[in-house]
């Protein structure tokens, strides 16, 4: 390793993150962006357009990103703004066709279980207040640490923890409601 390639910050234990080109960023994070947009409520028919908008912004601004935070959270922030625009303009998302998922799953049982879970999660996320939903997506679905999620959302850490607690309660209660509804439906 040359002196020039050493991190300037002596406290830094992590290796200095390599700058990704736009193409590398696209390859590595396309799925993440696409799924984030979907979770944030962009209609399936508009996901490609929204993902395109996100990556146009990424292309224009990637050089400004300083790697002080995770690239993933920076991309999420762009996806969040894009999703808000799309949700304002368009109708709520219908669920994906069963056949698409069923065709790709290892067994029909797996396919149905995953599809049902996805439907329930979609419905529950749509019910939850946006501020809480976004935090839930970042922390519970993307496994991003709360301090980092707070930073990307511009929240104080205590506010983020408090909001996350409420989001988890909302989510847990909604899961129970859905299960109760399903059990009632399936009772003879």
Residues in contact with another protein by the rule CB under 8 A? 21-23, 26, 30-31, 34-35, 38, 47-49, 51-52, 55-56, 59, 96, 100-101, 104-105, 110, 113-115, 117-118, 120-121, 140-141, 146, 161-162, 164-165, 168-169, 171-172, 175-176, 179
DSSP string, 110-143: HHHHHHHHHHHHHHHHHHS-HHHHHHHIIIIIS-
What is the number of helices (H) and of strands (E) in the chain?
A: 8, 0
Closer by beta carbon to another protein, 34 or else 65:
34
Provide the minimum distance between the beta carbon of 61 and another protein in the complex, in angstroms, as a whole number.
13
Closer by beta carbon to another protein, 12 or else 100:
100
C-alpha distances out from residue 67 to 99, 123, 179, Å: 41, 35, 42
Tokens of 92: 């709520």
Provide the minimum distance between the beta carbon of 51 and another protein in the complex, in angstroms, as a whole number.
5
Closer by beta carbon to another protein, 6 or else 113:
113
Contact 31, 39 (CB under 8 A): no
Terminal Cα-to-Cα distance of the chain (whole angstroms): 70
Contact 79, 54 (CB under 8 A): yes
Provide the minimum distance between the beta carbon of 46 and another protein in the complex, in angstroms, as a whole number.
11
| Side-chain-side CA neighbours of residue 66 (13 Å) | 1
Provide the minimum distance between the beta carbon of 166 and another protein in the complex, in angstroms, as a whole number.
9
Provide the minimum distance between the beta carbon of 7 and another protein in the complex, in angstroms, as a whole number.
26
Closer by beta carbon to another protein, 12 or else 116:
116
> Positive or negative CA dihedral for 92, 98, 104, 106?
positive
Closer by beta carbon to another protein, 110 or else 129:
110
Provide the minimum distance between the beta carbon of 35 and another protein in the complex, in angstroms, as a whole number.
6
Closer by beta carbon to another protein, 6 or else 173:
173
Residue position matching structure tokens 């408090």: 162
């Amino acid at each position: 390793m040359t002196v020039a390639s050493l991190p300037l910050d002596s406290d830094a234990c992590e290796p200095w993150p390599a700058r990704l080109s736009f193409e590398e960023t696209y390859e590595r994070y396309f799925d993440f962006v696409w799924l984030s947009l979907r979770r944030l409520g962009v209609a399936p028919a508009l996901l490609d357009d929204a993902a395109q908008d996100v990556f146009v912004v990424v292309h224009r601004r990637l050089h400004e990103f300083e790697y002080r935070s995770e690239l993933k959270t920076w991309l999420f922030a762009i996806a969040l703004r894009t999703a808000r625009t799309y949700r304002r303009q368009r109708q709520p998302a219908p669920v994906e066709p069963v056949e698409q998922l069923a065709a790709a799953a290892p067994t029909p049982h797996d396919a149905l279980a995953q599809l049902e879970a996805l439907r329930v999660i979609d419905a529950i996320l749509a019910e939850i207040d946006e501020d809480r939903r976004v935090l839930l997506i970042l922390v519970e679905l993307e496994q991003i640490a709360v301090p980092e999620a707070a930073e990307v959302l511009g929240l104080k850490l205590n506010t983020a923890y408090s909001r996350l607690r409420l989001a988890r309660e909302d989510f847990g209660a909604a899961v129970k409601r859905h299960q109760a509804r399903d059990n009632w439906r399936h009772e003879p």
